[in-house]
Amino acid sequence: MRIGVNGLCCNESMTGIGRVALSTMRALLELDPHNEYFFFLPRDAPRDLSLEADNLVLVRTEVSLKDPVRSTLFEEFTMPRRLRGARVDLYYAPSFLLPAFPGARTEIVCIHDFAFRLYPETKSTLFRAYMNARLPYALKRAQRIVCVSQATADDLVLLFPEVERERVRVVRPGVDLKLFRPDRRVARADPPFVAFVGNDDPRKNVRSLVDAFPVFRARLRPHQLVVVGPTERPANHGREVVVKGYLSDTQLVELYRQASMVVHPSFYEGFGLPVLESMACGTPVACANIRAFREVAGDCATYFDPRNPVAIADAMEELASDDASAEERARRGVRRARKLTWQRTARELLEAFEEAVS
């Protein structure tokens, strides 16, 4: 079988969806030496993606997500022609949408979340209009619909009751346990810091964390707040708030291991990759009490109401003031993370591929 995969989200500063697509592709190639894969990349994809296999063809396209109009037109109208030119049997779209017309006999789409419907204030009017127009078409046409969590699958059947449940598969993202793992040789930083990993999407709720941080800091010895991701430095805060910007996976691992805790205050998520990665590194986690985070972390995290900065401060204080409890949750987190690997993701996704073509 010849399988085409849309990797246009794998650019130089890829966010969660790009990291999921790339890691899934690596795991598929390790698992499956039989099918032939065509991985379509943006022109600004990193040169070294650690993708090497005899059954892989890397197709570097002429578009970039930095030019959303041109990249959208490519995905809608040019991609089907490229797929037919490569004689692709199955097309996998890791990011919500299918092209305007089919380029392969079998099509599978991955849904990460429904923020544009459930939290419309966090998305632009243009983005909402485009997704509302195009997503129902993709959901109707796809032979299989992959959801990154049961929470997202539940949202799917609630928002689109016409979608047959037998076409929906839950395939959770994973973590690279060779990289994201504890290292006893690495000590927590001194002075200590609290880490946030995400972007400036309003639903990530970094504003409430920044508001909660002075309350927490006033109760205990001074900490710093390290904000990682494509976001601006919060106004009216001194040296206690540090913005790191984009970090590589290797740099993220170092950050997780040195952080006294990682805090995830999102109002809404489809999965929660930073939660899983934090757990895998043995770092205590405090996160919002939302379905996706509960699904990922279970009883390994300290939960809080993300709309209440005092509750966020209370959760951070609980982890910072009770080392024994924090470390026990961290140990449970490591064990739980070992069950969610990219190998498992690839195996379940390949099963969905095989079902769709049978």
pLDDT, tens digit, 9 for 90 and up, residues 125-166: 999 999 999 999 999 999 999 999 999 999 999 999 999 999
Which single residue is written with the structure tokens 């939960």? 303
Alpha carbon distance 217, 240 (integer Å): 9
Coil, helix or strand at residue 145: strand
Position 235 scores a pLDDT of: 59
Predicted pLDDT of residue 123: 92
Six-digit token string for 154? 């539940």
For 200, residues 6+ apart whose C-beta sits below 8 A from its C-beta are 206, 229, 230, 231, 232
Please say whether the beta carbons of 259 and 195 come within 8 A.
yes
Contacts by 98-101, CB closer than 8 A, 24 or more apart: 98/137, 98/138, 98/141, 98/142, 99/75, 100/76
Q: Which residues in the chain show pLDDT less than 70?
A: 230-238
Is residue 248 within 8 Å of 228, Cβ to Cβ?
Answer: no
Q: Model-level pTM?
A: 0.93
315: closest CA among 222, 192, 306?
A: 306
Residue 235: partners with Cβ closer than 8 Å, 6 or more residues away? none
Query: 89: buried, middle or exposed (CB in 10 Å: 19+, 13-18, 0-12)?
Result: middle
Domains, the chain, ordered by start: 2-173+342-357 (3.40.50.2000), 193-337 (3.40.50.2000)
pLDDT of residue 39: 97
* Side chain identity at residue 101, one-letter code: F
Give the pLDDT confidence score for residue 50 in this predicted structure: 85
* The predicted structure's pLDDT at residue 230: 65
**Where do runs of H (alpha helix) occur along the chain?**
16-31, 68-73, 79-85, 115-118, 125-141, 150-159, 206-219, 249-258, 273-280, 291-297, 309-321, 323-337, 342-357
Instruction: Give the SS3 label for residue 232.
Output: coil
51: DSSP letter = -
Q: What is the pLDDT of residue 236?
A: 58
* Dihedral, CA of residue 225, residue 326, residue 204 and residue 337, to nearest 10: 130
What are the b/e assignments for 229-246, b being 16+ CB within 10 Å? Answer: bebeebeeeeebbebbee
Q: Pick from 259, 264, 289: which is nearest to 275 by CA? A: 264
